[in-house]
Amino acid sequence: MIPQSEPPTEPMSKTRLRLWLKLLKTSGRIEAELRRRLRDEYATTLPRFDVMAALSRFPNGLKMSELSDLLRVSNGNVTGIVDRLTNNGHALRVAVPGDRRAQLARLTPAGQVAFTKLAQAHEAWLDELLQGLDADDAAILHTLLGKTERETNAQ
């Protein structure tokens, strides 16, 4: 028998619950800061940034439904965002050959330039917001986050 000399420890389910709340708080706090900076410094929004990022990765264009799937944003919202980007001259809609009803959205060259600037700012902000983590910390955190993957992906 091991003597009961240690202080009572919390059940593992409580530890994991506290960890989840910490994870949510951390990502929420950083995301709020990114939203604030996109708004204040670039008069744009996180969903618009995400749409530009997706279009930037697919230079041949994406259908609204593809954008919506990629970004977990509703079709209606994606359409509204693409409308704004189009009015801005940052995106354009092109017809899909052989499908009169479908349209692809693409970044214009000006949109690509604007996105490159935004992406650089976004990377610099994260470099600052995560400066408390050095390369070793980042590697360990990455590995530990990866350990949570099996459970949900298997379903």
Q: Which chain residues interact with a copy of itself by CB under 8 A?
A: 9, 12-20, 22-24, 26-33, 72, 122-124, 126-135, 137-138, 140-142, 144-153, 155
What number of other Cβ atoms are within 10 A of residue 40's Cβ? 8
CA atoms within 13 A on the CB side of 150: 3
Query: What distance in Å separates the CA atoms of residue 25 and residue 99, rounded to the nearest whole number?
Result: 45
Rank residues 60 and 143 by Cβ distance to a copy of itself and give the closer one. 143
- Of 51 and 104, which has the nearer Cβ to a copy of itself? 51
CB of 111 to a copy of itself, least distance (A): 21
Give the nearer residue to a copy of itself in terms of CB position, either 24 or 96. Answer: 24
Four-residue CA torsion sign, 19, 25, 31, 37: negative
In angstroms, give the least distance from the CB of 142 to a copy of itself.
6
Supply 151's token pair. 């459970």
Reading the block at residue 44, the tokens are: 């744009």
Residue number, 109 or 132, with CB nearest to a copy of itself: 132
In whole angstroms, how close is the CB of 148 to a copy of itself at the nearest point?
Answer: 5
CB of 19: closest distance to a copy of itself in angstroms? 5
- Beta-bridge partner residues of 92: 106
Helical residues (DSSP H) of 88-147, grouped into ranges: 109-129, 135-146
